[in-house]
Amino acid sequence: MESFWIVRGQDIKAHGDYRTKAAILAAFDRMAAAMAGGGAFQTGLAPPPGDPSLAHAASTRPAWSTPPMGASPEGPRCRACGGAAPMDGADLCPRCQHTTT
């Protein structure tokens, strides 16, 4: 986080401390506590990420079609790594050795 020296400088100038760094570290601590306790992490963002109120209106969305899972213009893809599926009929992906059948 020390790479963001502009943010650090602005935080210190405006607030006297590096608030952005403290907020990020606090969020990571809450995530770690949730993982350790087996619970779900509750974000402090409002509205939460992926909230339907943030979606663009249907009239402004691009008109593209999504290919079926595993389909690609370049040919079949491995579902695990996205690499090209073997063309020789083998059952293992050459990139990640994931079983393709």
Instruction: Please name every residue paired with 77 in a beta bridge, in sequence order, or none if there are none.
Output: 84
- Per the domain annotation, does 57 fall within a domain? no
Over its length of 101 residues, how does the chain's per-residue pLDDT go in tens digits? 778 899 999 999 999 999 999 999 999 999 999 989 888 888 888 877 777 787 878 788 777 666 555 555 666 667 777 766 655 566 677 777 776 55
Do residues 1 and 21 touch, judged by C-beta distance below 8 A?
yes
**Residue 54: inside a domain, yes or no?**
no
In a domain, 101, yes or no: yes
Rounded to whole angstroms, the Cα distance separating 97 from 81 reads 9
Q: What is the domain extent for residue 93?
A: 72-101
Model's pTM, two decimal places?
0.46
Q: Is residue 91 part of a domain?
A: yes
On whether residue 94 sits in a domain, the answer given is yes
CA 8 to chain centre: 25
Name the residue type at position 72. S
In the chain, the number of structural domains is 2
